[in-house]
A and B are shown apart, each in its own frame.
Chain A
Amino acid sequence: MSENNIQKGIREIKKIEMTSEEKEKILHNLTLHVNYNKPVKTPYFKKISSYICFFNKKICYSIALILIIILGSGGISYASETSLPGDLFYPIKTKVIEPVKIAFAKNPEKKADIQTKLAEKRLREAESLSKQGRLSTTTASELNKKYKEHKEKVGKIKDQMERNADKKSAEAIEKKFEDRMKPHEEMIKRINDELNQKPIFQNLENSKDSQTNLDFLDKKLVRNR
């Protein structure tokens, strides 16, 4: 054997290639993937700018500056994650960080998973506020409304999967949702009882909220067909 034999061997190995059809097919799929998954700054910018657009121009710059500082700071970002309704950073959590998380979910299962976690988070927030004696009927109603929104979105994804004949995934999503909400049943029952007996801010909100009864316990996903 000589060097020529080695070179010949290497040349033969290098002949292993994709066919032009195979190459084209992958190129086509990659092009689609690239177009659907643009670099990270785009979705962030879209999400943030869409929220900024709600405000007038005068405060636009200051909000943008605050968001830049907040998003650029891991500590404050963490603080917003653990914040509760009424806290300074709570809107950052629900209006910026959470929508971005949803926007980043790659597929419907991930989206359902995030929505399920967010629904549970609303329950935890109600529980935390209740423990601290800070849960008003107004706040409870708001949390209840958000919980329902998350639940409805999970329901829509589940329905879509059923329509796509993916019954297994649909059932898994439903079960996960119910399993995650189940541990909170007792606490929410107690909160419901407390709110109905002693509605907070009764004078201000009595006509609307004094009979607030959180249907957090309604774990069954909404049908959207």
Chain B
Amino acid sequence: MEERFIDLYNKYGDAVFRYCILRIADRETALDITQESFTKLWDEIAKGKIVENSRAFLFKITRNLVIDWYRKKKAVSLEEIAESKEEDLEEVIPLEDNAKYLSEIEVEGRYLLKKIDELPKSYREPLYLKYVEGMNNEEISKILNTKESATAVRIHRGIEELKKITGYQNE
């Protein structure tokens, strides 16, 4: 079980870190949350929880930790944040702003993130998870607590919108 867990870290560690740093900008905090995500995943496994889809479960944990972090950071303006967690994160992802500090991303990557930022908030995360992390609709639905049909619609509309605002002709 331990070996399988370490395999999961080797497989998804970078994806979790990427998800965090694009939403948090601070490298140390992103590393902390990455570690905490895996720690929590292990705690659940050790408690006997049967995890059907490790990646979706892991990202769900990560997403909640990012939301918690953001809530703590922005405690003063909490009233402005909607009650729903889903709404919260979509509200708070300045992907492109955060990407400015990452030397790995060049012009195209930054442009793509900038355009994702311009999309209606309910499209941003499904698109990111679909196209950057290569997840399927079922995984995305589990992470975002939405129905698969709703996820499919969001992705479809999101990509259409993205084409319009970028001039991309194909997905």
Contacts and interface: CB of A to CB of B under 8 A. Distances in A.
A13 interface: yes
A186 interface: no
Interface residues of B, number: 42
Given A13-B112, A18-B17, A27-B9, A1 B167 contact: yes
Contact of A30 (B9, B131, B132, B166): B9
A133 to B, nearest CB: 43
Interface stretch (B45-53, B67-75, B78-86, B137-145): B45-53
Nearest to A26: B35
Contact of B131 (A10, A17, A26, A31): A10
B132 A14 contact: yes
Interface string A6-41: 101111111111100011011101110111011111
Contact of B39 (A11, A16, A25, A30): A30
By DSSP majority rule, is chain A's interface helix, strand, loop, or mixed? helix
Given A14-B18, A26-B31, A9 B13 contact: no
B168 A26 contact: no
Given A9-B111, A26-B34, 17 more contacts: A1-B166, A3-B171, A6-B131, A6-B168, A12-B110, A15-B104, A15-B105, A16-B18, A23-B14, A25-B31, A26-B35, A26-B38, A30-B39, A34-B5, A35-B2, A39-B46, A40-B47
Interface of B: 1-2, 5-6, 9-10, 13-14, 17-18, 21-22, 31, 34-35, 38-39, 42-43, 45-48, 99, 102, 104-106, 108-113, 131-132, 166-171
